[in-house]
Amino acid sequence: MNPLIRLKLVSAGILLAALAPAIGAEPSLMAHAQIKDQKGDHVGTADLMETRGGLLIKLAFQNMKAGQHAVHLHEVGRCDAPFTTAGAHFNPDHHKHGMLVGEGHAGDLPNLHIPDSGELEVELLTTKVTLDQGKPNSLLDQDGTSLVIHATSDDYQSDPAGDSGDRIACGVITSQFTQKGSSTQ
């Protein structure tokens, strides 16, 4: 990424973070995931923040294979290669997969386009999940959840996983703070 663009994005993020408490948008719940490939190499991070508008997911990748990749929230907080231990898509409402043909799973997220550099920073917002423990759509349930990157793009139609190919990277989502802001790690 162009250093000037990165500086502008970082500056905008700092400005937004500085303004958040003043406008009442400071997240009360946060979570994090270290994303690793099948060899165990670190390829990215996910920071999740509960906001008034929904769950904000900030993703940052490096050394990823260029191209279109599906990203999904999976029902189990385990990432043992080849990442089948992460289970199926997070789907507490038992919907069929596919944003283009129905409601889609709670774990369905938009595809990522990784540029030739292998680096990407992006923010996604979803209203289908929460970090609020005890709710049926909470990512912080008994067995946890994972964020999984697939080899190809999600077609947003095929059930159960959008014909998105192998699981190439995975990160277990862990709570960073309680509602009062104290650490739970």
Residues 72 and 133 sit within 8 Å (Cβ to Cβ): no
Q: Which CATH architecture has domain 27-177?
A: Sandwich (2.60)
Q: Which of 7-11, 32-36, 99-103 has the highest mean pLDDT?
A: 32-36
% of the chain surpassing 70 pLDDT: 79
Residue 180 has pLDDT above 60, yes or no: no
Q: What is the pLDDT of residues 13-57, one digit of tens each?
A: 433 444 444 444 444 689 999 999 999 999 999 999 999 999 999
DSSP-assigned letter for residue 131: -
The span from the CA of 45 to the CA of 59, in Å, is 6
Question: Which pTM does this prediction carry?
Answer: 0.78
Determine the Cα angle at 55 with ends 172 and 125, to 5°: 105
Q: What is the pLDDT of residues 129-172, one digit of tens each?
A: 999 988 999 999 888 999 999 999 988 887 777 678 899 999 99
pLDDT for res 138: 92
% of the chain surpassing 90 pLDDT: 58
pLDDT classification of 183: cutoffs 50, 70, 90: very low
Q: What letters, b where the CB count within 10 A reaches 16 and e where it falls short, cover 92-130? A: beebebbeeeeebbbbbbebbebeeeebbbeebebebbb
Residues 103 and 93 sit within 8 Å (Cβ to Cβ): yes
Residues 81 and 95 sit within 8 Å (Cβ to Cβ): no
Domain boundaries, the chain: 27-177
DSSP-assigned letter for residue 86: G
Residues 109 and 145 sit within 8 Å (Cβ to Cβ): no
Say which residue the tokens 């970082």 belong to: 10
Average pLDDT, integer, range 176-184: 47
